[in-house]
Homo-oligomer: A and B are copies of this chain.
């Protein structure tokens, strides 16, 4: 079974290399495909502070995909964990999901800050961040998950 998707738009600007850290100040624009959408599609998004961007790591080759376990970022100081227990980009289906700040919405363009996707990345979907969809109950994560995020933003 395979599922075919068509990107709804593209990332423009921001960084042009997938580095590990310092994404917090990166600003970029997501432009919707004008052949399929008009400004109605983004109407009301500016009432939210944050948007969840679902995109594709399209520069990751098939031979780079990991389906088992590995050390996050190849760092052996951190435990070897399954690809579904980490957020690295070399993953089956190459999907990225990131919450960004909404800077502005204008016509078919959405300007965001803190998007960890590079210039030219295809975008599959956008969702407003609602407090009601935040994790319910107490949060728990291993130490390495805190360490890996130390300089990320």
Which residues from 1 to 19 on chain A have a C-beta closer than 8 Å to any C-beta of chain B?
1-8
Q: Which residue of B lies closest to A98 (CB)?
A: B133
Which residues from 59 to 99 on chain A have a C-beta closer than 8 Å to any C-beta of chain B?
67-69, 79-87, 91-93, 95, 97-99
Is A139 a contact partner of B49 (Cβ separation < 8 A)?
yes
Q: Contact mask A106-128 → B, CB, 8 Å, 1/0?
A: 00000000100000001011111
Q: Which of B4, B40, B83 is close to A82, meaning CB atoms less than 8 Å apart?
A: B40
What count of chain A residues pass the 8 Å CB interface test?
A: 74
Quick one: given A54-B97, A99-B133, are A85 and B45 in contact (CB under 8 Å)? yes
Is B44 a contact partner of A81 (Cβ separation < 8 A)?
yes
When distances are taken between beta carbons in the complex, the residues of chain B under 8 Å from A37 are 67-68
Q: Which of B2, B43, B135 is close to A5, meaning CB atoms less than 8 Å apart?
A: B2
Q: Which of B85, B101, B132, B148 is close to A146, meaning CB atoms less than 8 Å apart?
A: B132
The 10 closest A-B pairs by CB, nearest first: A132-B149, A44-B81, A49-B140, A45-B85, A44-B85, A43-B82, A40-B68, A47-B142, A84-B126, A40-B69
- Jot down 5 A-B pairs with beta carbons below 8 A, ordered by A: A2-B6, A5-B93, A41-B67, A44-B79, A99-B133
